[in-house]
Amino acid sequence: MNVPLHIANLSVGFGKNILLSGVELALNEGELVAITGRNGTGKTTLLKTAAGLLKPLKGQVNVNGKNIHEISTRERAKHISYVSTERVRLGGIDVKTVVAFGRYAHASALGWTTNADELIAQQCMENLSIRDLANKSLAELSDGELQKVMIACALTQQTSVIIMDEPTAFLDYVAKEELFVLLKRISIENRIAILLSSHDIQLVEKFSDRVFVAENNCVVEVLHGQ
């Protein structure tokens, strides 16, 4: 089975402050893997490092055989996409424009996109049932709708790996479960490896292929095979 994301002997943190060390994790295509743990244990730092947004203190992150920290931002965006827990604040920008941002890594040197790019963005909105929101501004959306928009943007990148930090934050329980169902379907149907963090233990155990917990400066697998 293809292993699009491989984390080896990774230590993350800031300066001399090591939050997690010796992290070993490999994600298979079509697999949904969750990391849980208390606040402050380093989950977000680990995910940002795995996504190439922070430099590791030690170790390596390979995506499709390439060191994520040794390739350009544009090249990285062709392999891995990242969905933050932070609420997006882009004023009056509409949904279709935000989703289309996912094609920037595939655009020409001048930033031009093609009709094919537009079709991919439209299909991703269709897959997440947000096509009817295309012309709405982000300010008009509910938290659940906004989260789907950001996932659609990540899908539009057409990467083999999606990393998500607390994707169910700000949602009620029903919306949380609906989102996990959606993520599970996306991982299977698109053969995408999804790595996410979450405090929703019951949903994590129900929908994840594997579950890890961040504690005592390390990451330990606690659930395997669903």
Q: Do the Cβ atoms of 134 and 95 come closer than 8 Å?
A: yes
Domain containing 94 — which CATH number? 3.40.50.300
Split into its structural domains, the chain has a count of 1
Q: What is the pLDDT of residues 71-84, one digit of tens each?
A: 999 899 999 999 99
pTM exceeds 0.85 for this model? yes
Question: With pLDDT > 70 as the criterion, what percentage of the chain qualifies?
Answer: 93
Confidence of residue 199 (pLDDT cuts 50, 70, 90): very high
Side chain identity at 123, as an amino acid letter?
Answer: Q
**% of the chain residues with pLDDT over 90:** 71
Helix axes 115-127, 143-156, angle to 10 degrees: 140
Q: What's the confidence (pLDDT) of residue 110?
A: 47
pLDDT in tens, 8-55: 999 999 988 999 999 999 999 999 999 999 999 999 999 999 999 999
Please give the Cα distance from 221 to 151 (Å, whole number): 26
Domain limits at 69? 5-224
